[in-house]
Chains A and B, each alone.
Chain A
Amino acid sequence: MGLKGHAAIVGSAQYKPEKYATAPRMFHLEQVADLAAQALQDAGLQASDLDGLVINGPQFHEASVFVPAMAAEYLGLRLNFAEVVDLGGCTSVGMVWRAAAAIELGLCQAVLCVLPARMAPMGPDEDASWMARAMRFGGHSTAFGAPEAEFDLPYGHMGQNTGYAMIAQRYAAQYGYDPRAMAKIAVDQRTNAQFNPQAMFYGQPLTIEQVLASKKVADPLHVLEIVMPVAGGAAMIIASKEVAARARKRPSWITGFGEHLAFKSPSYAADMLHTPIGPASRRAFEMAGLKPGDVDAAQIYDCYTITALLTLEDAGFCAKGEGMSFVREHDLTWRGDFPMNTHGGQLSFGQAGSAGGMSQVIEAVTQIAGEAGERQLKRCDTVYVSGTGGVMSEQGALILQGA
C-alpha cells in the first residue's frame, strides 16, 4: 500500500516573507502565474510540462468556487488532474502527496502545487473593513448552524492561541512543563534563521530570556512562541520519474506520507495530548520503510512551540512526555545533532497563511538538493516534514528522500 516513491519534488518558489502593510499587492491569479514561472525555472522545466494543478480553494481572492478551472484558464494550462486542498496549515503537505498519488496513478506527469498568500489589490467598490471582519473570529465559522459559532464563540473560544494554550496547560498538568525548554525551540530556530537571508527574523538573534520576558498571550504561551503572520506565497512542482530525469537539480522523492484528522476543536479529541500527527507519521514512516531515527533532518510545522514539542513526541523522535528533555539535550540548529526547521521554522521565517507550511517542505527540498547555502547540512538524504492545520486538528507527514 502507498506510494512507490516514483514522484518527486523537482522545483519550488517562495516569496520572501514581508509585513502585510508593505508587501506588494497582487491578484491571486497573478501570484499563481508568477510563482509557477519561478518554480518552473527552478526545476528547469517548461510550462508545457505541467498537466496537473493543486491549489487552495479557501482564501482564493478572485473566486470561491471553480478555482482550478479559473486558474488553468488564466495560466494557459491543459490539465489532466486538478484538486483543491483545504487543510489549513496542513495544506502544503496534503498537496504534495495528492500530487504524487495522481502521478503514480498515471493521471499526469507534472503537477503545480501553489498557494498565493499576498493580499490582492482593493477594488474601487470593495469595503476595506471586510478583512477585519473576516479575521475577527480567527478562522472560526460564524455561519448559522456551525457548531463552533454556537458553542465556542459565545464563551470567547476562538482563533488558535487559546486552543494551543489549553493543550500546553494539560501537557503541563500531565507531564510537567519547562518554559526554558519551550523557549529553546524558538531560540534554536532563530539561530537557524540567522543563516537564512530570506527569513523574517534574519539578523535578529534571540535568547531564552527574551522569549520568557515577552508578553503572555494566553497562559502559558508567550508572544515569541507564536508565529508572526506575514504576506508571502509559495509553489512546488511535483513530477514523474520521466520528467524528474530532465529536471535541473537533485529531486526529492516522496516515499511516504500520512494524514489524520478527526475534529476541529481539540476539546473533542479522544486525548488532547495524543495528536493526529502520531498516526499520520507512523503511516508515513511505515510506507517509506524507515524509522524516525533514520532521518537527517526534521522540518516540523511550528505555528507554536507546543506544536513542535508534541510533534517530536507523537512522530516518535522521543517518547511521550519526554519532549522537554529531548529539546534540552539536543542542539536543534543546523549545526546540531538534531537539525530541525533549518530555515528558521515558521516562528522565525514567518507564516504566510496556509503557504507557511510550504516553507517546511521547500526547506527539505532545498537541503536534499544541496542548495541551502550557509546552513547546508553535510549529509541530507532523508527528511521528515509535518503539517498542522487548525489546533492540531488536521495533520500530515511526508518522508522526502534524495536518490
Chain B
Amino acid sequence: MSNNKPMPVATEISAPFWEGLKAERLLIQQCEHCSHWVFYPRRHCPACFTHALTWREVSGGATLYSFTVTRIATLPDFADEMPQMLAVVELDQGVRINTNLVGLDESEVKIGMRLQPVFAEVDGKGNRLLRFTGLDKDADALKTLRVVEQPVAAAVAVRQIALDDEAGLQALVSDQFSPWSNQVVVDQALIDTFAQLSGDDYWIHTDPERARKQSPFGGTIAHGALVQILQSRMKLNLGYEITGFSNMINYGSDRLRFPAPVPAGSTIHARARVKKVERVKSGTQLTLELNTHVLGSERPSVINELVILYM
C-alpha cells in the first residue's frame, strides 16, 4: 500500500508557526496596525493590507465550527485514520483552522463544543500538526506518534485500479517484487518494549549478556512477531492504488514464516508482490506476499502472505 501522506512544507513566511508547534506552542499572527488576527500565516494583514504582523502565542482554546466524519478516505493514505474526523475550528481569537479531531468518539462531537489543541507528532523528526480534542481529554496522551515513518525513497508511478476492474486487478498478480521499502532499525530498546507489551521476555530476546554467551546467534534477536508487525512501519509503493471500495480489512495471513533471525540492532526493510486476487462472497481478496529482510540479506526474516479484503 502506498503511504505517502502529504506533509506540510514550511515556507519562510510560515516557519514560525511550524517551529512553534514543534515546541508545543501555538503561535499565530496579529496585526500591529489594526489588531486583526491572521490565519494562515501571511506577509500582509488581509484586513488592512499593512505588513505589520507580529507572532503571538495563544492558548489554543477553540470552538468547533463544523466537522465531517469520512466513510471513504479522502486519500488512500489516510486509510489508517479511518474514519477521518475532519474539522474546522474557530480559535478564541476568531480565526478558523482546517484540522482534525482526535481522541473523540463520534457521539461526543457537537458543533459549538469547546476544544483544546493537541500538538500531534507526525514523524520521528519532531514535526507536529495542530489537531484538537475535547476539554475532558488528555491532550498530552494524544500527541504522541503512533507510527514512526520514513519517507519512501523511490517514487514509483501509482496506477489507480477500480475494484470492479477484474482484468486490471488480475494484472497486478506478479512474480516480481516491489522496490524495497524504507528501512527500520530494530534496536534493543524496541525489543524490550515489545517484550513488555507482549509478555514474551524470554532471555534470547531480552538478556544481551546471557545471549552473547549462550545464544546460537551471538546476541539477542528480535521476536518474530515484532518483526512481523514492524511491516506497518515499512512503507511500500506497489505502483497501484485500488479505488472504489468502501472498506479495506486486514483479513489475516495465509502463511506466516520466520525463516531467518533479526539480531538486535539490525536494519530491516521489506518488499512485496501481489500473489493472488480472487472474488469471494464478501468482496475481493488480495493476497500480498510481504517479505521482510535484514538489510543485505537474501533470505527473508518474515514471509507473510497477507490477505486484504476489499469491500
Residues on A facing B (Cβ under 8 Å): 127-129, 132-133, 136-138, 142, 144-145, 147, 149-159, 161-162, 165-167, 169-170, 173, 215-219, 265, 267-268, 272
Contact = CB atoms under 8 A, between A and B. Distances in A.
Contacts of A272: 65-66, 88
19 contacts: A128-B159, A132-B158, A136-B75, A137-B6, A144-B9, A150-B9, A150-B40, A151-B40, A152-B98, A155-B100, A155-B131, A156-B74, A156-B78, A156-B81, A157-B98, A162-B68, A169-B111, A267-B97, A272-B65
A138 B88 CA distance: 19
A157 B11 contact: no
Q: Which 6 A-B pairs have the closest CB atoms?
A: A165-B68, A173-B111, A153-B6, A170-B66, A129-B157, A166-B66
Nearest to B241: A132
A216 to B, nearest CB: 4
Contacts of B160: 132
Nearest to B157: A129
A267 B9 contact: no
Nearest to B165: A21
A267 B40 contact: no
A398 to B, nearest CB: 30
Contacts of B14: 150
Given A157-B74, A268-B96, 11 more contacts: A127-B157, A132-B159, A150-B11, A151-B97, A155-B129, A156-B70, A161-B74, A162-B74, A162-B86, A166-B68, A218-B72
A265 B158 contact: no
B10 A151 contact: no
Interface in B71-93: 71-75, 78, 81, 84, 86-88
B5 interface: yes
B127 to A, nearest CB: 9
Contact of A154 (B67, B96, B97, B129): B129
Contact of A170 (B72, B100, B111, B159): B111
Contacts of B246: 215
Contacts of B7: 154
Nearest to B14: A150
B74 A158 contact: yes
A144 B11 contact: yes
A12 to B, nearest CB: 33
Contacts of A127: 157
